[in-house]
């Protein structure tokens, strides 16, 4: 059996797992980081989710719309304080991903975003 030694193991290779691995690499560039996924990377939840990722990025969009769409998409079971934090920080994170500031990682993209008030 082949083994691998790492300083940190990140379980899950969706958007949150990738972001955690990037933050760890930025904090300690010499660290060996293992990003572990039970599925092929293009099947992670972030990519497989309806429409991919979304952020308030247009003049006619709003944090309120994104908040409502996210909570409604979660059948109103989401922790609303977490959703509020999430929607207000998404634009910065998504810009970082798409500009390549995330160590060359590409942002998840989608042609359409099902369930979004603003497209």
**pLDDT 10s digit of each residue in the chain, 119 long?**
999 999 999 999 888 898 899 999 999 999 999 999 998 877 777 766 665 677 888 888 899 999 999 999 889 999 999 999 999 998 888 877 766 655 444 444 433 344 567 76
Residue 68 lies in a domain: yes
Whether 42 and 83 share a structural domain: no
β-pair partners for 33: 8
Q: Which 3 state secondary structure label does DSSP give 45? A: helix
Residue 62 lies in a domain: yes
User: Are 117 and 70 contacting, i.e. CB atoms less than 8 angstroms apart?
Assistant: no
For residue 36, the surrounding DSSP H or E stretch is strand 33-36
What's the domain range around 42? Answer: 1-50
Whether 63 and 33 share a structural domain: no
Q: Provide the angle, in degrees to the nearest 10, between the axes of the packed helices 63-73 and 80-99.
A: 110
Number of domains in the chain: 2
């Amino acid at each position: 059996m082949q083994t691998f030694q790492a300083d940190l193991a990140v379980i899950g290779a969706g958007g949150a797992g990738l972001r955690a691995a990037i933050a760890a690499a930025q904090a300690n560039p010499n660290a060996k980081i293992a990003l572990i996924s039970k599925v092929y990377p293009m099947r992670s939840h972030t990519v497989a989710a309806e429409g991919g990722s979304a952020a308030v990025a247009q003049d006619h969009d709003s944090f309120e719309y994104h908040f409502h769409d996210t909570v409604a998409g979660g059948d109103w079971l989401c922790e609303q304080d977490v959703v509020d934090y999430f929607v207000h920080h998404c634009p910065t994170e998504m810009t970082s991903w798409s500009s390549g500031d995330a160590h060359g990682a590409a942002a998840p993209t989608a042609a359409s975003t099902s369930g979004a008030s603003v497209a």
